[in-house]
Amino acid sequence: MNQTALITVSTPNTIPEAVKRALQVLAGGGLVAFPTDTVYGLGALAFDAQGVDQLFMAKERQAEKAIAVLLANPADLKQVTLDMPDSARILAERFWPGPLTLVVSRHPNLPKNISPWPTIGVRMPDHPVALALLQASGPLAVTSANLSGQPSATNAQEVLRQLGVRVDLIIDGGETIGGVPSTVVDCTGPSLKILRTGPLSQSDLEQALLA
């Protein structure tokens, strides 16, 4: 693509047109940047191996780092994992939609390049644009919309500055409210293990499990 397309979402009524254009880009193997409740994400169709490759190249991300999957609904989990531990299920019920990424076993139907491990991070974001897109597209492979090692982007202008024409479409939904990447917690072991600190603390998670 010669230049990055930008579409602004200023009211709820403008979301459907943004989603329509995003679906066209995704279906063609392109990349779409969009706002979430934490930071801007950069997404491709989760089951499109070539699209996932494009994510790594756009970010200059190391291949040994996994790409998370965003969902519109907990019911979509069956598409990306065959084993949802009780701890992950409880945390999803308590904190989704929200800034919590759960690491669970990876469904064998997901492309191999999405993660070098037998696990995958999954999240349901709390943002109307992200949820509308995910409801229409199905699971998306999503990483933060910035160059690896650079600050996360909290607005469309920062996405464009860092990634430029590497992104096919940017949905400008204004400044993100959270501004901090999600908490990532590994739910595959006998006890929870936080892999990335974020808005939710170890205490928040443990209290939810005890409730």
List the one residue out of 177, 39, 182, 34 whose CA is nearest residue 98. 182
Q: Can you tell me whether residue 149 is helix, strand or coil? A: coil
Label residue 3 by pLDDT band (50, 70, 90). confident
1 pLDDT higher than 80: no
Residues 45-85: tens digit of each pLDDT: 999 999 999 999 999 999 999 999 999 999 999 999 999 99
- Contact residues for 37 (Cβ-Cβ < 8 A; gap 6+): 97, 98, 99, 125, 126, 127, 130, 176, 177, 178
- Residue 150, judged by CB atoms within 10 A of its CB (0-12, 13-18, 19+), counts as middle
Which tokens in the block code for residue 30?
A: 């392109």
Residues 146-165: tens digit of each pLDDT: 999 999 999 999 999 999 99
Residues 96-148: tens digit of each pLDDT: 999 999 999 999 999 999 999 999 999 999 999 999 999 999 999 999 999 99
Dihedral (CA of 155, 160, 166, 169) sign:
positive
Label residue 211 by pLDDT band (50, 70, 90). confident
Q: What is the structure's pLDDT at 2? A: 60
Which tokens in the block code for residue 16?
A: 């459907």
- Residue 130, judged by CB atoms within 10 A of its CB (0-12, 13-18, 19+), counts as buried
What are the chain's domains? 5-210 (3.90.870.10)
Please give the DSSP secondary-structure letter assigned to residue 141.
E
